[in-house]
Amino acid sequence: MELKSIIDLAKTYQDELPLLIPPKVPQGKDIAGWIDHTILKPEATEAQITKVCEEAVELKFASVCIHPVHVPLAVEVMQGSNIPVCTVVGFPYGATSTASKAAESKLYLKDGATELDMVLQIGLMKSGKYQAVYEDVLAVVEATHPKGGLVKVILEMCYLDEFEKILACLLCKIAGADFVKTSTGFASGGATVEDIRLMRSVVGPPEEMGVKAAGGIRSLSDAKAMIEAGANRIGSSAGVQIVADA
């Protein structure tokens, strides 16, 4: 699809979004399988990383999401568990070059990660350089999919206006990304129900593309609200408490 057609579609969606049925909220401890158990604090120690990995194995989270430097440790701790190791690319600002993001992706996959949460080139999106944004996502997808990995694109929704949010979702979908994600958790805002509804409406049903809510999700009620709005993955550092409450 040509860029002009994508922009025109985004403008159409601005006037009227498709209505979609959101995923059903998982019951009880099954919600763990929808949560990326996350620790992205820069001061996190290896002992804390190990603890999070052990919790992911015990509670059967969807993945454990950590900084790249800790990927080999996570792979070692969770060996044989079938719990994916997720790490971040171009984090937290998305302002690294496309070549560096593609190189990062290949390195982290080689280290054992199987899910990559990359940050959109936010400044270029705000500058209207949509082709460059698309090519940035595509480069990571092309580095990742041949190795069997998943790509989730962090849009940092708090920085985008409605048109940019819609267009960013479309660019990511057409580039072949597996998920769009709300936030890094390091910006001025996190996930909102309104943004999740918009994202799900734009990208279609979960079998076509995933929507990950992240940023400020600290409770079971927060997680349920996001799933009811259309998220089929939750990123949270409070996963243990959410599962306990469920």
Catalytic residue among 36, 101, 117, 178: 117
Distance CA 5, CA 236 (A): 36
Q: Please give the structure tokens belonging to residue 170.
A: 């479309």
Q: Is 36 a catalytic residue?
A: no
Nearest 5°: CA angle at 117, between 113 and 184?
Answer: 135
Task: Find all residues with CB under 8 Å of 197, minimum gap 6, and list them.
Answer: 229, 230
101 as an active site residue: the answer is: no
The residue assigned the tokens 């990559």 is 116
102-132: string of b/e by CB count within 10 Å (b at 16+)? bebbbebbebbbbbbbbbbbbebbeeeebee
Do residues 57 and 84 touch, judged by C-beta distance below 8 A? no
Q: Residue ranges of the alpha helices (H) in the chain?
A: 3-15, 46-59, 71-77, 98-111, 122-126, 130-144, 162-175, 193-203, 220-229, 239-245
How would you classify residue 39: left for phi > 0, otherwise alpha for psi between -120 and 50, otherwise beta? beta
Catalytic residue among 181, 195, 222, 224: 181
Q: Is 212 among the catalytic positions?
A: yes
Distance of alpha carbon 52 from alpha carbon 223, whole angstroms: 19
Give the active site residue among 101, 165, 173, 212.
212
- Bridge partners (DSSP) of residue 89 are 118
Positions annotated as catalytic residues are 117, 181, 212
